[in-house]
Chain A
Amino acid sequence: MDSDEEQFMAAVRSGVTGYLLQDASASDVVAAVRAVFRGEAVCPPQLCSALFRFVAQTARAMPLQNSASRPDLTLRQQQLVTLVAKGLTNKEIASHLNLSEFTVRNHIHRILKQVDVGSRGEAVEAIRAHGLRHRSIKTSRASSTAPTRFWLCDSGLATPRCGARRGSFVLDVLESEENTPAEKPTDCKAGRKNLLVGPLGFEPRTNGL
């Protein structure tokens, strides 16, 4: 397995459902975002063989693996585990999710039982190890008129703008059509919520758009 394949497989193991090579075009990126939103996987053809080989090897190595042993958590339970993983207390979780502390305790008790562990930390580790079952994607999603909401994140290795420190972060929200690309504030003087980190190290080609 070469380094590209190893990188790709590490991403798949991490739960990534789409992967694009650096030579992807702009339209490839857009198509990939739409595809993963629809619940499809995006995989470069040249890396598919690595995936197939890995599945075949895994099947040979673990023929008796019981998928039923994986925790099948509800969406609420998944939210709770996420917050537990961040180290929040029951009280903080209750406040975050607008639940009573008693309800949170109940949820966590059930999660511990389901995962068959004795502590919150063990539950988080066990769930990480097994991975969560993905919620089924509603088919109505694809036809929804609401825009797909997504987040862009880069490695923070870019040249900072506006005197920002390297890797610094300010939330940047594009709120509907009011912020057209031309109007979007992109420097510190322009106002609130600026983007401070630059290149992704990935430049989509724009030819043919």
Chain B
Amino acid sequence: MREALVRLFCKRSDLLVVGQSGHAEGTGRHVLDSHCDVLVFDSLQTEWLPAILLSPVETMLLLEPS
């Protein structure tokens, strides 16, 4: 439940959700443009992930895929 996670993170003043999405095409650019510090996701099956891996987004947290 992404909304649940957003609500959860919004309660923490040290965390700021700058974006959220499915793994649709084009998401990679938005992730890069967001200059996020941490990328939280639940799937490695994304076409744009290689670009993210080469980016300054260096901390990624994977929630175990179901």
Contact = CB atoms under 8 A, between A and B. Distances in A.
A21 B59 contact: no
B58 A135 contact: yes
A128 interface: yes
Interface in A133-192: 134-135, 147-158, 166-174, 176, 180-181, 184, 186
A174 B17 contact: yes
Contacts of A16: 44, 60-62
B32 A82 contact: yes
B19 A22 contact: no
A115 interface: no
B56 A200 contact: no
Given A42-B61, A153-B23, A198-B2, A14 B53 contact: yes
A104 interface: no
Given A7-B65, A36-B59, A158-B22, A30 B54 contact: no
B50 A202 contact: no
Contacts of B42: 153-155, 200-202
Contacts of B24: 156, 167-169
| Secondary structure dominating the interface of A | loop
A11 B15 CA distance: 24
Interface residues of B, number: 61
A33 B15 contact: yes
A15 B53 contact: yes
A60 interface: no
B24 to A, nearest CB: 4
Interface residues of A, number: 75
B34 A149 contact: yes
B26 to A, nearest CB: 7
Contact of B23 (A39, A156, A173, A184): A156
Nearest to B55: A82
A149 B53 contact: no
24 contacts: A15-B53, A15-B60, A20-B63, A33-B9, A34-B15, A36-B60, A42-B61, A78-B55, A79-B55, A128-B53, A148-B38, A149-B38, A150-B36, A153-B46, A154-B42, A168-B24, A173-B19, A180-B10, A181-B6, A196-B22, A197-B2, A197-B20, A201-B65, A204-B5
Q: Nearest 6 pairs between A and B by C-beta?
A: A156-B22, A18-B61, A150-B38, A155-B43, A147-B16, A197-B22
